[in-house]
Amino acid sequence: MKEYRKDREQRYLVKRSELDESLEEVFDGQTLMTVYDMLNTGRLRKVMGVVSTGKESRIYHGVDGSGLEVAVKIYLVSTAEFRRNRLQYVVNDPRFKKIPRNFRRFIYLWSEREYANLTQAFNAGVPVPKPLFQQNNVLVMEFLGENGVRYPLLHEEKFEPDELETIFNQVVEILAKLYNDGGMVHGDLSQYNIMVGKGLKLYLIDLAQAVAKDHPMAETFLTHGVSVLSSFFTKAGLRVDGEEMLKKIRRGG
């Protein structure tokens, strides 16, 4: 038993040392302890290199306790501007009636909110990364990619005319399913929040900004997102009618 405990502690220290090298100084002690806890309890086996970076979060490639590739999304806790820009999404959400004044607690709520939105969308059959677990400002979900390389975003790829039409129709179907079956609207819809997997299979990502379709701002977010995507597809060479796209989404495709 002592040898087992010693071996487990040694493996934990190795993991912790590797993690210290892979996670930049932008993460504070509490964030690191959250990740260490996930490693020590076996929910995570490894946390490796950065997959993508942003002003609000970083996503790392990892392996969960069962050996599957996962995405480890860590929200930064360094800018209060984040809270001001995100209040419009959280207000009027009945799942989170109390909005914490403490900035760190607000980030934790935001991470919890994305986990809840992903769960709701995934259970409705919307193609999103499967949410696995969440703690504080760390969210772990299915990795969309292979061998540590994520799938490209919609704006990063070039498509043939027939492919573009197929992709557009799929986008409409996904948004219609999110709206009608998931009961939500993506609050920051664009070509930057859609991933292209194998066989041109699309995935919707970054659902923290999603709101219920009866949210006071839902139609504004939907109309704006459709406008952004319409412009993208038009510039790519596909004639798109934004109003017709909206109608299809609202009536279910």
pLDDT digits (tens, 9 = 90+) for 165-184: 999 999 999 999 999 999 99
Q: What is the pLDDT of residue 110?
A: 85
pLDDT of residue 81 exceeding 80: no
Annotated catalytic residue 7:
no
Please check whether residue 138 is in contact with residue 73, taking contact to mean a CB–CB distance below 8 angstroms. yes
- 104: Cα separation from own chain's centroid: 19
- Global pTM value: 0.83
> Minimum mean pLDDT among 102-106, 164-168, 206-210, 217-221: which range?
102-106
With the CA atoms of 178, 183, 188 and 192 taken in that order, what torsion angle do they form, in degrees rounded to the nearest 10?
-10
CATH superfamily ID and name for 2-146: Phosphorylase Kinase; domain 1 (3.30.200.20)
* 3-class state of residue 137 by DSSP: coil
pLDDT of residue 95 exceeding 80: no
140: Cβ contacts below 8 Å, ≥ 6 apart: 38, 43, 44, 62, 64, 70, 71, 72, 73, 131, 132, 133, 134
Q: What is the pLDDT of residue 22?
A: 52
Annotated catalytic residue 206:
yes
Q: Please state the domain extents for the chain.
A: 2-146, 151-251
Q: What is the pLDDT of residue 14?
A: 39
Catalytic site residue from 28, 206, 214, 241: 206
User: How far is the C-alpha of 253 from the C-alpha of 245, rounded, in Å?
Assistant: 9
Q: What is the pLDDT of residue 7?
A: 43
Catalytic site residue from 37, 93, 181, 188: 188
What is the per-residue pLDDT across 4-57, written as a single tens digit (0 to 9) for each?
344 444 443 334 455 555 565 557 788 989 999 999 999 999 998 889 887 788
Q: Which CATH class is domain 151-251?
A: mainly alpha
